[in-house]
A and B are shown apart, each in its own frame.
Chain A
């Protein structure tokens, strides 16, 4: 049904110039198409990854000027100026991204804004670029001898490109790299713990957005047959963002809806507002600004969400039953030493949160780490998993030192964790969330995903995700939005996600916290079952029923130090432990 709607829309769009549509509308639609390309990039960057840029217009500008100058002054073929523009923009985007993406998300929009302004003034002041008059006399494009010098013929170039780019981005989002991209909006700690190189994926999103903008610039140049700096000024950069937000910043098709609404509204307002106010000027920005504020306040998902609500929900066809299982790691023999934490310390200024704690986990063992509130359990956990750097000591996994590595590398070596406060991508389905855990077990990249060359591997990943969900008893919830699950099931989903990474050791951070009685029962059941299958687990937990019921050995911490360790019975009998919990 969804697919049928899509095909009908695409067919209608492509057939439009053959119908008796007035030339005015064809021109409008051509601009909408070119804007859409830029806005699709912004949707990827803003709606999916949670970054934004005010400087997309600079990439459009470089693309357009590369096309104009090389064609007019150097006589290059348009088919050579396109890759040239893309290459120039690739360099710029990677440089800007590399510099700013190391810091908080809000530096990228500021940097791109300044960069866009710099470029605008640069275009306007360079003699060779015609200063503010720009470059005129750009030759029309021609494909196999057919000149695209009319609005209708150009339409048949622009819109197939727009649709193709939208589909490429949609394909990307529904893939292994796509899930990594979608996980970044909620911070990168969870993504990194799943082995995702978050910086690189942020850069990827920015890069793709820049490439789409560059392509749009090339199309602009050959459509208008002239370029000058004004369409690439900072105001246009901001308007692209307006289009993305109005259309629905989380939806690829929303990019087209937003561009259309903005363009049509602009042309109407430019007629009506000056009549109303009795003077000429870009008064429509008032309406745009107020609309933007209202949309963010009352309908943050934009216009497309209304269309989306009306369409039947997407269904994932289960085509992975026959996929080959993923390769698994070699497991250490039961009882051999797996995790060796030696005298780790973590200091925050003058506060010693973890002081000289050592503990070992052997293969096949479930070790509990307990202690009163503030004993430093979670900090120890974060040090072991590389989320926070340790001050002293060392950690090794199966004989290999892992302390000092970033958490994604530690995850790759077979240590997988869950979080005290569930960290997930609430708008992805349960299956997709768990498939994120398999990130490091796949290799197919962005281009393969865009071109759907990754489907064999994708089926293997999804099969694994389903297998792990079955293991924890969530096989009936695969297609639910993860955010809609109750807390107990979200916790189980996190465990399934960790299991999907094929870990040597599972680190569970207070999995029973906040669970209801029957949910705790289900959790304990899953843990016992995992232990029966030989999984090694380090469990931080407050709930003594769970700890005493499933652990082989218990380590007790107090005030950041190692208090004692022993069997559950020994720990329960220890006067020192009672004193720690109840006070003396």
Chain B
């Protein structure tokens, strides 16, 4: 291997790492705030990429109807509670806000689908369709179980993963799609060429990390999320709603997932089930930080990306094997770094 190949591998690995880093951030966020190991994170990636693909083809993607159906189900689920407490106002507000938003986005999609909008507009529309799926998933699947053990929440995640995977097949079919690039420019750096799309990926990931750091460090909402992550009961006593915090973290997770989907959609062919694999790599990155540390997760992502890219060069058939076996030494190293922890479930 000479230097130029090494450079190409380095660049490729870093670009993939940028995507894994975003997903790892989302996983750490969701886990610390809600204790949910969010197995279906990768599904949002596939949903994002494929929703865009269908919009580009002038079709109304099934994800729109899913969003609408989930909004109605979520309102119906909480309606009983609102009615029992006689809070008709809260019910009406919830219905208007949740179903109204979903209906507005659906109407916009339905109206715009046949009008051949430019790529960026369809991209934004995709984000608007997929992001609400996060908090809706939280409300429907997790919020009623907020006090359950990590194990139960994990198994719920398995259920959400299975459901989302099956629905992806219904919505998008078994065929893969490759989206056009957002930016076709190419930059030459000596012997290296940096694709415009790669530049966007790297830039977006870096920007996202900075924004998240700002959000958690400087804004009240971000601090509330951090407080929930540290101590749920304490946060509740301080007037921070854990349900709101959960919805918010799921919204961020879905947004980050969909955004990652938009970004990778032009660098690789995405199938309905591609998300899971990408999500698991995000998990491996997050495990570097024991699902708790953002910087360690970002470093982990870089490591996973590079191992994958160099592994693909040396042993292309076994690149996935190498990436997945990597988790063992990482866990081994972590197990000596952390005190044996004990989950006490009262």
Which residues in chain B, 290-346, are within 8 Å of chain A measured between CB atoms?
290-291, 317-318, 320-321, 324-325, 327-328, 331-332, 334-335, 338, 340-346
Q: A186: CB under 8 A from chain B?
A: yes
Most A CB contacts (10 A, CB to CB) among B145, B164, B283, B327 go to B327
Please determine whether B321 and A125 come into contact, CB atoms closer than 8 angstroms.
Answer: yes
Instruction: Return the contact of B170 from the options A105, A189, A277 (Cβ within 8 A).
Output: A277
* Segment at the interface with B among A145-153, A279-287, A485-493: A279-287
Q: B144: CB under 8 A from chain A?
A: yes
In this complex, what residue of A is CB-closest to B334? A103
Chain B residues closer than 8 Å to A50, beta-carbon distance: 149, 151, 345
Q: A113: CB under 8 A from chain B?
A: yes
Q: A297: CB under 8 A from chain B?
A: yes
Q: A467: CB under 8 A from chain B?
A: no
Chain B residues closer than 8 Å to A102, beta-carbon distance: 335, 340
Instruction: Return the contact of B342 from the options A114, A115, A187 (Cβ within 8 A).
Output: A187
Please determine whether A242 and B162 come into contact, CB atoms closer than 8 angstroms.
Answer: yes
Please determine whether B284 and A293 come into contact, CB atoms closer than 8 angstroms.
Answer: no
Please determine whether A117 and B283 come into contact, CB atoms closer than 8 angstroms.
Answer: no
Please determine whether B317 and A125 come into contact, CB atoms closer than 8 angstroms.
Answer: yes
Cα–Cα distance between A313 and B163 once the two chains are bound (Å): 36
With A100-B331, A118-B325 in contact, do A297 and B344 touch (Cβ < 8 Å)? no
Q: Mark A20-58, 1 if CB is under 8 A from B, else 0.
A: 000000000000000000000000001000111010000
In this complex, what residue of B is CB-closest to A127? B317
Please determine whether A125 and B318 come into contact, CB atoms closer than 8 angstroms.
Answer: yes
Chain A residues closer than 8 Å to B342, beta-carbon distance: 104, 187-189
Cα–Cα distance between A15 and B283 once the two chains are bound (Å): 48
Which residues in chain A, 122-138, are within 8 Å of chain B measured between CB atoms?
122, 125
Chain A residues closer than 8 Å to B161, beta-carbon distance: 238, 289
* Segment at the interface with A among B5-13, B152-160, B228-236: B152-160
Please determine whether B287 and A110 come into contact, CB atoms closer than 8 angstroms.
Answer: yes
Cα–Cα distance between A288 and B167 once the two chains are bound (Å): 11
Please determine whether A293 and B163 come into contact, CB atoms closer than 8 angstroms.
Answer: yes
With A117-B324, A189-B344, A286-B167 in contact, do A293 and B156 touch (Cβ < 8 Å)? yes
Q: B141: CB under 8 A from chain A?
A: yes
Please determine whether A289 and B280 come into contact, CB atoms closer than 8 angstroms.
Answer: no
Instruction: Return the contact of B327 from the options A110, A122, A421 (Cβ within 8 A).
Output: A110
Please determine whether A286 and B163 come into contact, CB atoms closer than 8 angstroms.
Answer: yes
Please determine whether A282 and B280 come into contact, CB atoms closer than 8 angstroms.
Answer: no
Which residues in chain A, 277-328, are within 8 Å of chain B measured between CB atoms?
277, 279, 281-293, 296-297, 300
For chain B, give the interface size range: 35 or more
In this complex, what residue of B is CB-closest to A95? B328
Chain B nearest CB: distance from A353 CB in Å?
Answer: 17
Chain B nearest CB: distance from A125 CB in Å?
Answer: 4
With A99-B328, A114-B284, A293-B141 in contact, do A104 and B341 touch (Cβ < 8 Å)? yes
Please determine whether B166 and A284 come into contact, CB atoms closer than 8 angstroms.
Answer: yes
With A285-B163, A289-B166 in contact, do A103 and B341 touch (Cβ < 8 Å)? yes
Instruction: Return the contact of A121 from the options B158, B162, B166, B321 (Cβ within 8 A).
Output: B321
Q: A107: CB under 8 A from chain B?
A: yes
Please determine whether B162 and A289 come into contact, CB atoms closer than 8 angstroms.
Answer: yes
Please determine whether A292 and B280 come into contact, CB atoms closer than 8 angstroms.
Answer: no
Which residues in chain B, 164-200, are within 8 Å of chain A measured between CB atoms?
164-167, 169-170, 173-174
Q: Count the A residues whose beta carbon is within 8 Å of the partner chain — how many?
A: 55
Please determine whether B151 and A187 come into contact, CB atoms closer than 8 angstroms.
Answer: no
Please determine whether B163 and A103 come into contact, CB atoms closer than 8 angstroms.
Answer: no
Q: A109: CB under 8 A from chain B?
A: yes
Q: A578: CB under 8 A from chain B?
A: no
Q: Mark B1-43, 1 if CB is under 8 A from A, else 0.
A: 0000000000000000000000000000000000001000000
Chain B residues closer than 8 Å to A293, beta-carbon distance: 140-141, 156, 159-160, 163
Instruction: Return the contact of B287 from the options A107, A245, A289 (Cβ within 8 A).
Output: A107
Chain A nearest CB: distance from B135 CB in Å?
Answer: 16
Chain A nearest CB: distance from B20 CB in Å?
Answer: 14
Q: B150: CB under 8 A from chain A?
A: yes
Please determine whether A285 and B335 come into contact, CB atoms closer than 8 angstroms.
Answer: no
Q: A200: CB under 8 A from chain B?
A: no
Instruction: Return the contact of B162 from the options A99, A279, A286 (Cβ within 8 A).
Output: A286
Most A CB contacts (10 A, CB to CB) among B164, B290, B324 go to B324
With A121-B320, A293-B163 in contact, do A241 and B327 touch (Cβ < 8 Å)? no
Q: B276: CB under 8 A from chain A?
A: yes
Chain B residues closer than 8 Å to A296, beta-carbon distance: 145, 148, 152, 155-156, 159
In this complex, what residue of B is CB-closest to A112? B327
With A102-B340, A115-B324 in contact, do A245 and B155 touch (Cβ < 8 Å)? yes
Instruction: Return the contact of B166 from the options A54, A189, A285 (Cβ within 8 A).
Output: A285
Instruction: Return the contact of B320 from the options A117, A291, A421 (Cβ within 8 A).
Output: A117
Cα–Cα distance between A242 and B155 once the two chains are bound (Å): 8
Please determine whether A106 and B37 come into contact, CB atoms closer than 8 angstroms.
Answer: yes
Chain A residues closer than 8 Å to B160, beta-carbon distance: 289, 293
Please determine whether A105 and B283 come into contact, CB atoms closer than 8 angstroms.
Answer: no
Instruction: Return the contact of B335 from the options A51, A103, A122 (Cβ within 8 A).
Output: A103
Please determine whether B169 and A283 come into contact, CB atoms closer than 8 angstroms.
Answer: yes
Chain B residues closer than 8 Å to A186, beta-carbon distance: 344-345
Chain B residues closer than 8 Å to A96, beta-carbon distance: 328
In this complex, what residue of B is CB-closest to A118? B324
Cα–Cα distance between A244 and B78 once the two chains are bound (Å): 29
Chain A residues closer than 8 Å to B141, beta-carbon distance: 293
Chain B residues closer than 8 Å to A187, beta-carbon distance: 342-345
Chain A residues closer than 8 Å to B173, beta-carbon distance: 279, 281
Chain A residues closer than 8 Å to B156, beta-carbon distance: 292-293, 296
Chain A nearest CB: distance from B196 CB in Å?
Answer: 32
Please determine whether B280 and A99 come into contact, CB atoms closer than 8 angstroms.
Answer: no
Which residues in chain B, 206-240, are within 8 Å of chain A measured between CB atoms?
none
Which residues in chain A, 222-263, are within 8 Å of chain B measured between CB atoms?
234, 238, 241-242, 245
Having A104-B341, A186-B344, one finds 4 other A-B pairs with CB under 8 Å, namely: A114-B284, A121-B320, A189-B342, A286-B163
Interface residues of A (CB under 8 A from B): 46, 50-52, 54, 96, 99-100, 102-107, 109-111, 113-115, 117-118, 121-122, 125, 185-189, 199, 234, 238, 241-242, 245, 277, 279, 281-293, 296-297, 300, 421
29 residue pairs from A and B, CB less than 8 Å apart: A52-B151, A99-B331, A103-B331, A104-B343, A105-B343, A110-B37, A111-B331, A114-B283, A114-B327, A115-B327, A118-B320, A122-B318, A122-B321, A125-B318, A189-B342, A238-B158, A285-B169, A286-B163, A286-B167, A286-B170, A288-B163, A288-B166, A289-B166, A291-B159, A292-B155, A293-B159, A293-B160, A296-B145, A296-B155
Interface residues of B (CB under 8 A from A): 37, 140-141, 144-145, 148-152, 154-156, 158-167, 169-170, 173-174, 276-277, 280, 283-284, 287, 290-291, 317-318, 320-321, 324-325, 327-328, 331-332, 334-335, 338, 340-346
Closest 7 CB pairs of A and B: A289-B163, A292-B159, A289-B162, A286-B166, A118-B324, A285-B166, A187-B344
